[in-house]
Amino acid sequence: MNSHTAQTLDRIIETLPQRYPGPGGALAVLKDGQVLEAHTWGFADVEARLPFTPETMMLICSISKQFTCSLLLDLFPDPSVLDADVARALPGLRDDVPGILALCHNQSGLRDYWAQAMLCGAPVEGFFGPAEASRLIGRARTLQFRPGTRYSYANQNFRLISEILESRTGRPFADLLQERLFSRIGMPHADLNADTSSVKGGTIGYEGSLASGFRPAVNRIHWTGDAGIAASLEDMIAWESFIDRTRLDPQGLYRRLAAPQTFQDGAPAFYGFGLGQMTLGRTTVTGHGGGLRGWRSFRFYAASERISIVVLFNHMADPRAAALELFAAMMDEPARDNPANPPDAAMAGRYLDPQTGLAVRVELACEGGARIHYASSPEPLHAGPQGDLLGGQTRLAQTPEGLVLDRPRENVHGQILIPCGGAPTLDIEGQYHCAELDATLSCVAAGGALYGAFSGDLGQGAMQPLVHFGADVWLLPCPRALDYEAPGDWTLQFLRDEKGQVTQVEVGCWLARGLQFLRRLP
């Protein structure tokens, strides 16, 4: 590393705690398996004044998924021998049952169970334990797409893997992780921390900001293979060193995890075995982020450069952005701005994706770009060279047939969006029931405004104002959820019979879509 790169890296590290403010954090930069920089700052518990150190335990959240898949490949080099175990875990599923690899690659077609929990009335900071998880996962009767054909994030894919490994071996998942992975890799503190209400060593996760103040985040969720592991910076450095040390072994765990995957039609998949594949400039990296209420983390490995970056926060700042800054410094590349071409204003508007039944909103941004509201959070777009709009996940193009949506990472190509307009229809009051989830949607008029809420055996959700989107299409906001990553707006598409009477509503968000709620007669 030359002196200019070293100075740039030092400057970023020195100022990073101020630019991503919060109670505490940790980062590491490795090259060729060796630590170049390891830095911690702030406090693991601000009230107890417990300092953040390299040994401080953190919930690494969804980074857990790659360890779950590592354990799977270590125990069962041919994971497909567990396909029948998946079928036994989903006894009520009427559609094609996904194989174990479809779970590993988020190609199962299962709807995310944390999103569905909100449809069953789960309170924002409520308790969700193994019994609730088993009951909700066991209700699956239908899929949102045929296994292997598309990508959609579903946490229970990895919970199911961990439970299948326990059943097959007769050993607790925590013991398997310790014996088969952590002790062999040299991760001295890493452990399963399934009960997220507390963390080993007393680290606290925080919500809030400098303006509003930081407060301890409340977590009452029981996680397993999907997001249940806690680790320290020291542990994560050991993992990155192991990755680099075994990079040339054809049967090395991380090499198998990071192997390119495809969909059933042969199209390249950008997610597999709990790892996402990303391109930073001209460099391909593999990694994953994680987030629970109060906890954010991100790590990746650039195999061609033999560079690893790890960022851990016990607050809600963006660790991915921080990691990208560190990587740009290592590559001695300036931060790249998107082209300044103005977007085509004609693309802005409201649309419906007919394949998923989801609302799509494209809006111009004051900074000169655009945003698409489609998945869990808005995605920034910039004008491309062909007059299209481009983002990390999305391409929008205007064609004679209409506005076309491409999301290659999900294997979605050439989807023509339907313009969505029309006056609000107010005859949607009533109750609607989903047999698959045994959940109820209540639509109520209160003083001239329409409100909606879900309820079920997990509780009674709070009433939210319904937002008119188009003729017979409304949005039910879900800004907070049981898990930190809220589903976003639920799309409510009301359907009518030949007499024009509303008979049902199709409910969905990007994480869980295509659920049918039938109107209950008065």
Residues marked as catalytic: 62, 65
Residue with tokens 């700042």: 317
Nearest to 432 by CA among 423, 424, 444: 444
379-386 long-range contacts, CB within 8 A, separation 24+: 381/343, 382/338, 382/339, 382/341, 382/343, 383/339, 383/341, 383/342, 383/343, 383/344, 384/339, 385/339
Burial profile 69-101: b = 16 or more Cβ within 10 angstroms, e = fewer? bbbbbeebeebeebeebbeebbeebebebbbbb
Count the neighbouring beta carbons within 10 Å of the beta carbon of residue 321: 12
Radius of gyration of the chain measured on its C-alpha atoms: 23
Measured distance CA(345)–CA(362) in Å, rounded = 10
Beta sheet of 229-231, edge-to-edge order: 58-59, 229-231, 191-192
Q: Is 335 exposed, middle or buried (CB count within 10 Å of its CB: 0-12, 13-18, 19+)? A: exposed
Q: How far is CA 165 from CA 84, 137, 390, in A?
A: 13, 17, 41
Asked if 455 and 98 count as a contact pair (C-beta separation under 8 A), the reply is no
Asked if 197 and 220 count as a contact pair (C-beta separation under 8 A), the reply is yes
Q: Is 380 exposed, middle or buried (CB count within 10 Å of its CB: 0-12, 13-18, 19+)? A: middle
Residue with tokens 């779970």: 103
